[in-house]
Amino acid sequence: MRAAMMAALLWTLPAASMAAPDAQAWAQWQQQQQQQTLHEAYPNPRTPGQPWVKVGVRSQTLSVFSAEGTLEKRYDISTAKRGVGETQNSYQTPRGWHRICEKIGDGAASDTIIFRREVTPWKYTPELHAEYPNKDWILTRILWLCGQEPGLNQGSRDGVLVDSYARYIYIHGAGRHVPMGTPTSLGCVRMTSEAVIELFERTPVGMEVLIDENG
């Protein structure tokens, strides 16, 4: 059974230069920017008084906000290489309000391979990726998203499926070969394994997630 599952898993593959700034000054500037950002408040605009998550497509970041709107954590991510869109088989990241419908992988070791939403006994390695370079590895944890806006990311629009849950749109762990901060995915939101483990612990089922094209 395990051999058959592993075989199925492996064969189902879906500019200008500038002078570097002074190192100390650059570090100070980064620290100042981080401190300034951490003190900004962004209350949940959909459900006031509730914590929420914002996925910024333009910035390629995922931010977790408290019920008061305080930024608790920000992660670099990777959304769809083809940009934003909601239709089935577009391989684009859907926009708008979602919620976390299901969480998969609780307690699994970092880099554990998840195949068809089942935690497997196998782990991702750079060597395995080199052997199957086109494999869309889903690792460590899944936060499965449900669209909350009918006709945009829930149900269908003009007879075409736009449902994020039915499209299997996840926030999930990715392999170490994936560059965070750059769009590379097939529609999901990719994170490092370490980051998605932390996010998994911070976010309960039902938590609202806004995917903002301009964020």
Q: Any idea of the CA torsion for 100, 105, 110, 114, to the nearest 10 degrees?
A: -100
Instruction: For residue 210, list its beta bridge partners.
Output: 54, 97
112 touches 122 (CB < 8 A): yes
Catalytic hit among 39, 129, 146, 172: 172
Which amino acid, 60? Q
Catalytic hit among 101, 129, 177, 188: 188
Gap between the Cα atoms of 77 and 97, Å rounded: 18
Determine whether 87 is exposed, middle or buried from the number of CB atoms within 10 Å of its CB (0-12, 13-18, 19+). Answer: middle
**Displacement of CA 18 from its chain's centroid (Å):** 31
Annotated catalytic residue 146: no
**Displacement of CA 127 from its chain's centroid (Å):** 24
Annotated catalytic residue 172: yes
144 touches 168 (CB < 8 A): yes
* Cβ count within 10 A of residue 31: 10
Give the residue numbers annotated as catalytic, written as ranges.
Answer: 172, 188
